[in-house]
Amino acid sequence: MDSGSLVSGAVYGILWILCRVTSGLLLRYRTRGADRVPASGGVLLAANHASYADIPLLGCGIRRRLFYLGRANLFPHPFVNRLLRSLGWIPLKHDRWDRHAFREAVALLKAGKTVVIFPEGTRTPDGALQPGRPGVGMLAAAAQCPVVPVYLRGTYEVLPMGATRLRLHPVEVLFGESMDFREDCRAYEGKELYRRISHTVMARIAELRGVDHSAVPLT
């Protein structure tokens, strides 16, 4: 491991501790089912996206270091971009299919890392779940790795779209049972496969939230 990786790992660890302690004090932060995330090997975490607070609050929920797929234009400053890249951010272009980001995420998963994707593709404007996009299906099929659904409860209240400051509200992160889509990959292909995986993932996230999965529309 090179010195750069050691430094970024140390910074990630410090930020993890700070976030966990702060959220525990201010947000009554807790997790459920974190032991459902495999301790080793490539894992794709698929979570709902209600807030910018989702990223750190999901990250401090498990011990494994996480790598995140996120909008490329989220942090336009070059220095901030480099810093976040070193901490595990994978910038994703939203105006077209981003082959580079996709290959990077698949390579990390095949190398045994944990990658986070928000299947809805963008933050919810009202706290409700949105339809899943096919990206989660494409990643799961290409990497042939387990997918763990995650529901973040309370992050919408902490920092909803358009808010300029954090609000104090309890946050809970729920991890679902790991899903294996290898049988689906043998039975289906292309858009049908990606759509089936996406819908199944969103249905599991909806179950963690405690709603009927039929409330999550198909794409």
Q: What is the pTM of this model?
A: 0.90
Q: How far is CA 205 from CA 7, 61, 180, in A?
A: 34, 16, 15
Going by pLDDT thresholds of 50, 70 and 90, the confidence category of residue 6 is: confident
Give exposure, 84-96, as e/b (b: 16+ Cβ within 10 Å).
beebbbbbbeeee
pLDDT category at 68 given cuts 50, 70, 90 is very high
Q: What percent of the chain has pLDDT over 70?
A: 91
C-beta separation of 206 from 150 below 8 A = no
- Number of Cα atoms under 13 Å in the Cβ half of residue 168: 5
Task: Give the mean pLDDT of the chain.
Answer: 90
DSSP string, 15-49: HHHHHHHHHHHHS--EEE-GGGS-SSS-EEEEE--
Q: Is the pLDDT of residue 90 over 70?
A: yes
20 pLDDT band, cuts 50/70/90, is very high
The secondary structure of the chain as a DSSP string is --HHHHHHHHHHHHHHHHHHHHHHHHS--EEE-GGGS-SSS-EEEEE----TTHHHHHHTTSSS-EEEEEETTS--SHHHHHHHHHHTEEEE-SSS--HHHHHHHHHHHHTT-EEEE-TTSS--SSSS--PPPTHHHHHHHHHT--EEEEEEESHHHHS-TT-SS------EEEE---B--HHHHHH--HHHHHHHHHHHHHHHHHHHHTS-GGGS---
Task: Answer yes or no: is pLDDT of 57 > 50.
Answer: yes
Look at residue 76 in the predicted model and tell me its pLDDT. 64
Express each pLDDT in 173-185 by its tens digit.
999 999 999 999 9
Architecture of domain 3-215: 3-Layer(aba) Sandwich (3.40)
Residue scoring higher pLDDT (71 or 189):
189
